[in-house]
Amino acid sequence: MARPTPLSGFPEWLPDGRVVEQHVLDTLRRTFELHGFAGIETRAVEPLDQLLRKGETSKEVYVLRRLQEEGEDTDRSGQLGLHFDLTVPFARYVLENAGHLAFPFQRYQIQKVWRGERPQDGRFREFVQADIDVVGAGDLPYHYEVDLPLVMAEALGALREIGVPPVRILVNNRRVAEGFYRGLGLDDVEAVLRSIDKLDKIGPDKVAALLVAEAGATPEQARACLDLAAISGGDATVVDRVRALAATHGVESDLMEQGLAELRQLVEAAAVRAPGVVVADLKIARGLDYYTGSVYETVLVGHEQLGSICSGGRYDTLASDGKQTYPGVGLSIGVSRLVSRLISGGLVRATRGVPAAVLVAVTSEESRPASDAVAAALRARGVPVEVAPTAAKFGKQIKHADRRGIPFVWFPAGDEDGAVDQVKDIRSGDQTDADAATWAPPAEDLHPRVVPAT
């Protein structure tokens, strides 16, 4: 087999990169569990007809076929595809298991997903998502729309210490946008949202032209939509500015008022619980066409061009079985996008790529059992240990440790009377007597850590 080359869009990490990814995943999991989210996993596949319920994603789906089936009918019924997100499988899981779940049901789910898109920077064909959602049976109180982005703020904030940049969570509310547009007299809300969504890409003049051409707006209505989109801020004055703008245009809307009350509650709670993180941004339109209340996007400060690393929103109908409706709210972190930037951008580094804190040297193959016994004693007290692969010269064994980043090398005493084990910190060269029943490395050396690359 010739040396294989990577597949574009299917990222893999070297062991020290995996240490970074694993640290991120462990941190997210810990935060999610502190907030009471239960971990679940769903199978990687769903029936194709379920994956295609939203027509616009059809081009991204990977369809599965057993090799021996090839050449058979390509009838879609019964065909399976790889899931492209964790929301569709979660909605199906809720319906399938509703009788066994206690509602509101809070779950986190950290899994790979697949999309057959053209790979680009930060956009992969296989990537890890970390989702939290809460789903109610029949109803779901608004406060979860406040709570969930704040859980994500805490989870991402817990990564600050390893060198992850601060995040900014941008929030908007479907009710505000829809109420405002309808109050202006624009009833094709989806068309307005699609135009506003292009603001960052094509600028306000072209968006104004689009609003006129595609959403049936007058130039004045288009201007009002752009004025709304220009409003943003991290405190409740945002609400006052929207209201003032609405008054200017004679807009009166109960729907907008409900949305503004919600937005105020979110911004005010966020100012207390995660100061400086959450910003109301009325130009956020992506997702407003299918979410029904709050909508969220998250940028890494200083890496805005990477796009959102954590998005989501509120669905009044996450799932429905005809009898019962399940509203939900959730967010999804693009873990691979984040980790890829951390590693490729040189923002963080792992202190080592192997778990072992200690390499136990082997004096001769005959005395390997003595080295194994030292290793067992250290492991019994939680110290990760490797035993040297061969009884090479000690200089070579130390080099072996050094190449792996293992900080300590242990020398078993051997059989001479009064001989005692010794351990060497190969970074400083310090070598001291040691007892495998009591010695431990400093806490910061026990496991690989992830630190800012500086």
Please answer whether residues 242 and 230 qualify as being in contact, where contact means their C-beta atoms are separated by less than 8 angstroms: no
Which positions ≥6 away from 176 have C-beta within 8 Å? 242, 256, 259, 260, 263, 282
Between 114 and 291, whose beta carbon lies closer to a second copy? 114
Between 8 and 218, whose beta carbon lies closer to a second copy? 8
- The distance of closest approach from Cβ of residue 350 to a second copy in the complex, given in angstroms and rounded to an integer, is 10
Residue 213 backbone class (left: φ over 0; alpha: ψ -120 to 50; beta: rest): alpha
Find out whether 75 is annotated in a ligand binding site.
no
Find out whether 111 is annotated in a ligand binding site.
no
Please answer whether residues 228 and 172 qualify as being in contact, where contact means their C-beta atoms are separated by less than 8 angstroms: no
Between 67 and 443, whose beta carbon lies closer to a second copy? 67
Between 251 and 354, whose beta carbon lies closer to a second copy? 354
- The distance of closest approach from Cβ of residue 305 to a second copy in the complex, given in angstroms and rounded to an integer, is 26
Tokens (6 digits) for 450? 């992830």
Which positions ≥6 away from 261 have C-beta within 8 Å? none
Please answer whether residues 129 and 25 qualify as being in contact, where contact means their C-beta atoms are separated by less than 8 angstroms: no
Find out whether 133 is annotated in a ligand binding site.
yes
- The distance of closest approach from Cβ of residue 23 to a second copy in the complex, given in angstroms and rounded to an integer, is 11
CA 88 to chain centre: 17
Within 274-393, where are the H helices? Answer: 335-344, 368-380
Which positions ≥6 away from 147 have C-beta within 8 Å? 35, 134
- The distance of closest approach from Cβ of residue 146 to a second copy in the complex, given in angstroms and rounded to an integer, is 9
CB atoms < 10 A from the CB of 273, how many?
15
- The distance of closest approach from Cβ of residue 381 to a second copy in the complex, given in angstroms and rounded to an integer, is 10
The two beta strands, 348-350 and 450-452, are antiparallel
Taking the C-alpha atoms of residue 390 and residue 115, their distance in angstroms, rounded to an integer, is 46
Whose structure tokens read 């064909």?
125
Find out whether 286 is annotated in a ligand binding site.
yes
Which positions ≥6 away from 333 have C-beta within 8 Å? 28, 129, 130, 131, 152, 155, 156, 309, 310
Which among 108, 47, 41 is positioned nearest to 76, based on CA atoms? 47
Please answer whether residues 22 and 128 qualify as being in contact, where contact means their C-beta atoms are separated by less than 8 angstroms: no
Which positions ≥6 away from 373 have C-beta within 8 Å? 436
- The distance of closest approach from Cβ of residue 394 to a second copy in the complex, given in angstroms and rounded to an integer, is 17
- The distance of closest approach from Cβ of residue 318 to a second copy in the complex, given in angstroms and rounded to an integer, is 11
Between 163 and 353, whose beta carbon lies closer to a second copy? 353
Find out whether 115 is annotated in a ligand binding site.
yes
Between 395 and 418, whose beta carbon lies closer to a second copy? 395
Between 92 and 182, whose beta carbon lies closer to a second copy? 92
Between 75 and 415, whose beta carbon lies closer to a second copy? 75
- The distance of closest approach from Cβ of residue 25 to a second copy in the complex, given in angstroms and rounded to an integer, is 10
Tokens (6 digits) for 282? 């009325």
Between 127 and 291, whose beta carbon lies closer to a second copy? 127
The two beta strands, 232-233 and 325-334, are unpaired
Taking the C-alpha atoms of residue 403 and residue 447, their distance in angstroms, rounded to an integer, is 17
- The distance of closest approach from Cβ of residue 200 to a second copy in the complex, given in angstroms and rounded to an integer, is 28
Find out whether 129 is annotated in a ligand binding site.
yes
Binding site residue list? 85-87, 115, 129, 133, 286, 290-291
Binding site residue list for L-histidine? 85-87, 115, 129, 133, 286, 290-291
